[in-house]
Amino acid sequence: MPIHKVWRESRPRFLFVLAALLLVTAASTFYNSTTESVVLETKDFHQAGSRTFQGPLFLFWGFAAMFLGLGGLLRERAVGTVDYTLSLPVSRTRWFLYRAINGALQALAVAIVPALAVPLFASLFGSDYPIGEAAIHGLRLGIGGMLFYSIGLLTSSLFAGEFTSAGLGIALVFVVNNSTRIFQTLKPLNLQDAIAPTQMMDTSPYLARGAMPWTGICVSFALSVVFASLACELHKLRDF
């Protein structure tokens, strides 16, 4: 089945990213770099969790999602199997859709699973973190942050070389992230605010309060669909 092939080819990349993000989450949850204290002593998982969600998980996930967007038919050209794949009675649009959906689900998964790891770590060490909250943070990160994933899709449809598209992708992620912080007019669109719960955090007990930044999330998701469509069109037009 075509989707099974797409999954298998993306599996090593997915597992690598998942492992890396779990590691980052664990490190950030257990060690507070600002106070240089190990959380096991303070047992304040609420603070640790919120710190993780706001910072490291958001940051690393952004790059991870973009990384998941790379790959696909252009990679196949490097391996040499693209002729066989394209000779099959499957349209390029369909191949793209299979890959895009598979990757999007994976991007979502690598947001939710590490997010849910926080309550798990907390409960393992005698503390707590509300699972519902963690799940929502993870979902919001994954859905609102699809833009990073679609940046990966777009750059990989432009360039055959993995490094070139990765490089451009990283640059774009930085631009997207920082431009919305720097330019005041764009501030409402700031991704970090939208998908990482900085505005919402109550300082104590570090749980989310306030309304969900729906505008930011929706705009971001809509843009990611635009980028993905653009990537699809590029796929249809190019030579392999």
Partner 1 sequence: MNAVVETTDLTKRFGENTALNGLTMTVPQGGIVGFLGRNGSGKSTTIKILLDVIRRTSGEALLLGEPTGSVAVRRRIGFLGEDKRLYPYMTVEEIIEFTRPFFSTWRKETESRLLRDFELPRNCKVSSLSKGMRTKLGLLLNLCRHAEFLILDEPSEGLDPVMAEQMLQSLVQQAADGTTIFFSSHQISEVEQIADHIIVIEKGRVVLQGPLDHVQQKFRRINLVFDDPPPAEAFRVDGVDHVSLQGRTISILASRNIDDIAALGPLLAAKSVEVQPVGLKELFLEKVRER
* Shortest spacing between CB 102 and partner 1, in angstroms: 16
Judged by beta carbon, residue 93 or residue 179, the one nearer partner 1 is: 93
Decide if residue 233 touches partner 1 (CB under 8 A): no
Stretch that binds partner 1, among 5-13, 16-24, 98-106, 153-161 (CB under 8 A): 5-13
> Quick one: which H or E segment has residue 37?
strand 37-38
Residues 20-59, mask of contacts with partner 1 (x by CB under 8 A): ----------------------------------------
Residues 65-94, mask of contacts with partner 1 (x by CB under 8 A): --------------xxxxxx-xxxxxx---
Contact 111, 141 (CB under 8 A): yes
With the CA atoms of 226, 230, 232 and 236 taken in that order, what torsion angle do they form, in degrees rounded to the nearest 10?
150
* Shortest spacing between CB 96 and partner 1, in angstroms: 14
* Shortest spacing between CB 16 and partner 1, in angstroms: 15
> Quick one: which H or E segment has residue 38?
strand 37-38
> Quick one: which H or E segment has residue 32?
strand 31-32
- 101 contacts: CB under 8 Å, gap ≥ 6: none
Nearest to 240, CA basis, from 107, 82, 94: 82
* Shortest spacing between CB 121 and partner 1, in angstroms: 34
| Angle CA 189–190–196, to nearest 5 | 125
Contact 170, 70 (CB under 8 A): no
Please compute Rg for the chain using Cα positions.
19
Judged by beta carbon, residue 3 or residue 38, the one nearer partner 1 is: 3
- Give the type of residue at 163: F
Decide if residue 158 touches partner 1 (CB under 8 A): no
Judged by beta carbon, residue 86 or residue 113, the one nearer partner 1 is: 86
Decide if residue 9 touches partner 1 (CB under 8 A): yes
Judged by beta carbon, residue 182 or residue 237, the one nearer partner 1 is: 237
Decide if residue 3 touches partner 1 (CB under 8 A): no
Sign of torsion over alpha carbons 100, 103, 109, 111: negative
> Quick one: which H or E segment has residue 40?
helix 39-42
How many chain residues interact with partner 1 (CB under 8 A)? Answer: 21
* Shortest spacing between CB 104 and partner 1, in angstroms: 23
With the CA atoms of 64, 65, 67 and 73 taken in that order, what torsion angle do they form, in degrees rounded to the nearest 10?
160
* Shortest spacing between CB 2 and partner 1, in angstroms: 8
Interacting residues with partner 1 (CB under 8 A) = 1, 4-5, 8-9, 79-84, 86-91, 237-240
